[in-house]
């Protein structure tokens, strides 16, 4: 995935070129001084050797500066100046440091500085402006996916194991096309990470797993992937210490640990970004390194090359750095991807599971994958032996424990037994008042003391097939309330009118259901009294024609509807279905 340079400050290539200019200018000033110091200490061998070592180090700094200058000039598309930088570095490398006169060398270096596009003369400043315009034009090009034809050249060069599912990773996958093309027709699982949410959502249709958000804040298993396709953004970024570094280097350093030892890296960057520091990382951690440039217009436009290598245990690869880095200065000598042999690289024949893959941002598809693996989620719904078995207390419950259980609602609901019934416990507050008369010495009433006692009373309401019961005494088997309804001007008073086991009952209620709306509005007293009246054949506040229809329904087995008004003035209905399966308490607006 290619992203072009984005930097609110100067372009990285210009920054590196300026650093090179400062290093060369410092060498022009210090070369003669350091050389004279050697002559000064001719009689002191130790001091003379120390001065010579300082001179040697200055030579090394100039060579490094010229190499970075050449790479920056290639990025600016100034190949002639880049070639001049390389030739000048070769001359300085061959220069005899014990030469008495450094005038000629310093003149060459000063002349070189004058020719660079950041020199101080007016003509060069114009050139610098043109270069900056060219570089900034690249910034505006935006996002470009890896060319799929070149991805197919790469896929052709890889031998996939036949009986093993291999894991493929792209830390900046874009819309997922490149990794999908690489894995097409192979036994692979593809994993990608993408910063842009729109492209990440698009890649979900092409890749098996996609992490949303910044790769650097994602969490991914190490040594779990057989192949990594890395085409990082070409950005300059500031590190925590304030230093300027390249994103392609940062991606390489942070992501290489995800590869299996023996796994294949495909690292796609512009050839001029093969700087010595990146080459050192590659040479220390990979073997069988090869570099192949893109073809035709793709190379002309983006100057891209693919570096392929097999991960190995970290070793000192410093002796290989010069050879690899020199390829960046000789792009014409790079072979094209079309010349990459078939099955050039073989992926390890090792089955490996990716235990951890989480993006930095929330994404529903990834959450589903993580929940599939989570044992904690399934354990939430598991039942242990205590849940499955019958739970009985070790000792009989005392009166206080019965009250706590009943008042908490723990035993509310249907009790399935030989005589099924519905039970609901509730606690009501009761206040009892007693008066004590106090007499004076003459026997006359002096004062009255009023004693007020507040207590909680436990009520169990039971709905059985025989009628409604209310138990309010735990001790001697319970008392059953069976108060009769009282006639009022408004029809029937909703005082607790309950049908006891021996009371009037014209039919058997179905399973009682109360709508949530009715439960919120009506009191238990309203509901229980209404059910008692309904079962006794008192249809409440319905029209005469509906009353007669209900009486006929009792004989014909049809649906029965009654209507009542609760203590709060709210009208409610009770409906018993034709098959007598359910009796429903509801508000008219619930119907």
Q: What is the pLDDT of residue 143?
A: 63
Which of 68-72, 313-317, 347-351 is least confident? 68-72
Q: 105 pLDDT exceeds 80?
A: yes
- Best CA proximity match to 214, nearest among 201, 225, 200, 203: 200
Interval 507-520: pLDDT, tens: 888 888 888 788 88
Q: Is 108 exposed, middle or buried (0-12, 13-18, 19+ CB in 10 A)?
A: middle
Interval 388-400: pLDDT, tens: 666 677 777 777 7
Query: In Å, how far from its chain's centre is CA 296?
Result: 40
The Cβ-side half-sphere exposure at 156, using a 13 Å CA radius, reads 12
How far is 299 from 303, CA to CA, in rounded Å?
Answer: 4
Q: What is the pLDDT of residue 9?
A: 44
Torsion of CA 531, 532, 536, 540, to 10 degrees: -60
Higher per-residue pLDDT: 379 or 513: 513
Interval 244-268: pLDDT, tens: 567 888 999 999 999 999 999 999 9
Tokens at residue 26, please? 């410092």
| Mean of all residue pLDDT scores within the chain | 82
Q: Which stretches does DSSP call E strand in 356-444?
A: 357-358, 413-415, 421-439
Does the pTM surpass 0.75? The reply is no
How far is 129 from 142, CA to CA, in rounded Å?
Answer: 22
Q: What is the pLDDT of residue 502?
A: 41
Query: What does the longest C-alpha to C-alpha distance in the chain come to?
Result: 141
What average pLDDT score do residues 292-312 get?
91
Which of 69-78, 382-391, 452-461 is least confident? 382-391
Q: Which residues are registered as beta bridge partners of 358? A: 219
Share of the chain above pLDDT 70, in %: 84
Interval 168-220: pLDDT, tens: 999 999 999 999 999 999 999 999 999 999 999 999 999 999 999 999 999 99
Tokens at residue 173, please? 């996958």
How far is 11 from 133, CA to CA, in rounded Å?
Answer: 10
């Amino acid at each position: 995935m290619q992203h072009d340079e984005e930097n609110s400050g100067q372009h990285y290539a210009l920054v590196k070129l300026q650093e090179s200019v400062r290093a060369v200018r410092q060498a022009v000033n210090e070369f003669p001084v350091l050389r004279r110091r050697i002559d000064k200490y001719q009689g002191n061998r130790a001091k003379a050797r120390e001065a010579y070592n300082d001179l040697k180090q200055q030579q090394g700094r100039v060579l490094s500066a010229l190499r970075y200058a050449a790479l920056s000039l290639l990025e600016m598309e100034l190949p002639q100046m880049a070639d001049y930088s390389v030739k000048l570095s070769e001359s300085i490398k061959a220069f005899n440091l014990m030469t008495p006169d450094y005038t000629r060398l310093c003149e060459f270096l000063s002349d070189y500085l004058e020719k660079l596009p950041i020199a101080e003369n007016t003509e060069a400043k114009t050139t610098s402006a043109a270069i900056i315009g060219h570089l900034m034009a690249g910034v505006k090009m935006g996002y470009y996916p890896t060319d799929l034809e070149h991805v197919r050249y790469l896929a052709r060069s890889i031998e996939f194991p036949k009986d093993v599912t291999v894991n493929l990773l792209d830390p900046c996958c874009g819309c997922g096309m490149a990794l999908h093309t690489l894995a097409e027709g192979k036994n692979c699982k593809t994993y990608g990470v993408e910063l842009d949410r729109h492209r990440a959502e698009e890649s979900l249709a092409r890749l098996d797993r996609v992490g949303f958000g910044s790769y650097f804040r994602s969490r991914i298993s190490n040594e779990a992937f057989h192949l990594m396709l890395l085409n990082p953004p070409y950005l300059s970024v500031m590190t925590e210490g304030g230093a300027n570094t390249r994103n392609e280097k940062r991606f390489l350093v942070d992501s290489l640990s995800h590869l299996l030892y023996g796994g294949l890296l495909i690292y796609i960057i512009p050839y001029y970004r093969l700087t010595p520091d990146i080459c050192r990382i590659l040479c220390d951690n990979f073997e069988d390194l090869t570099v192949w440039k893109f073809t035709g217009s793709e190379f002309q436009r983006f100057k891209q090359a693919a570096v392929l290598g097999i991960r190995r245990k970290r070793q000192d690869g410093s002796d290989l750095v010069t050879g690899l880095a020199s390829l960046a200065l000789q792009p014409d000598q790079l072979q094209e991807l079309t010349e990459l042999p078939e099955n050039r690289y073989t992926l390890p024949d090792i089955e490996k599971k990716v235990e951890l893959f989480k993006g930095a941002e929330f994404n529903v598809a990834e959450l589903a994958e993580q929940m599939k693996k989570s044992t904690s989620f399934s354990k939430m719904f598991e039942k242990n032996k205590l849940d499955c078995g019958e739970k009985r207390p070790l000792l009989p419950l005392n009166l206080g424990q019965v009250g706590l259980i009943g008042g908490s609602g723990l035993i509310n609901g249907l009790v399935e037994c030989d005589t099924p019934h519905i039970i609901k416990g509730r606690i009501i507050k009761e206040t009892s008042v007693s008066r004590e008369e106090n007499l004076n010495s003459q026997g006359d009433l002096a004062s009255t003391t009023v004693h007020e006692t507040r207590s909680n009373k436990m009520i169990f309401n039971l709905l059985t097939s025989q009628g409604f019961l209310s138990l309010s005494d735990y001790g001697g088997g319970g008392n059953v309330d069976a108060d009769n309804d009282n006639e009022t001007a408004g029809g029937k008073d909703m005082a607790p009118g309950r049908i006891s086991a021996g009371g009037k009952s014209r039919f058997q209620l179905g399973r009682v259901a109360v709508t949530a709306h009715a439960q919120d509005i009506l009191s238990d007293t309203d509901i229980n009294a209404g059910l008692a009246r309904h079962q006794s054949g008192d249809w409440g506040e319905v029209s005469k024609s509906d009353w007669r229809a209900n009486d006929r329904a009792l004989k014909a087995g049809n649906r029965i509807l009654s209507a009542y008004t609760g203590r709060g003035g709210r009208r409610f209905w009770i409906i018993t279905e034709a098959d007598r399966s359910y009796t429903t308490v509801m508000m008219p607006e619930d119907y």
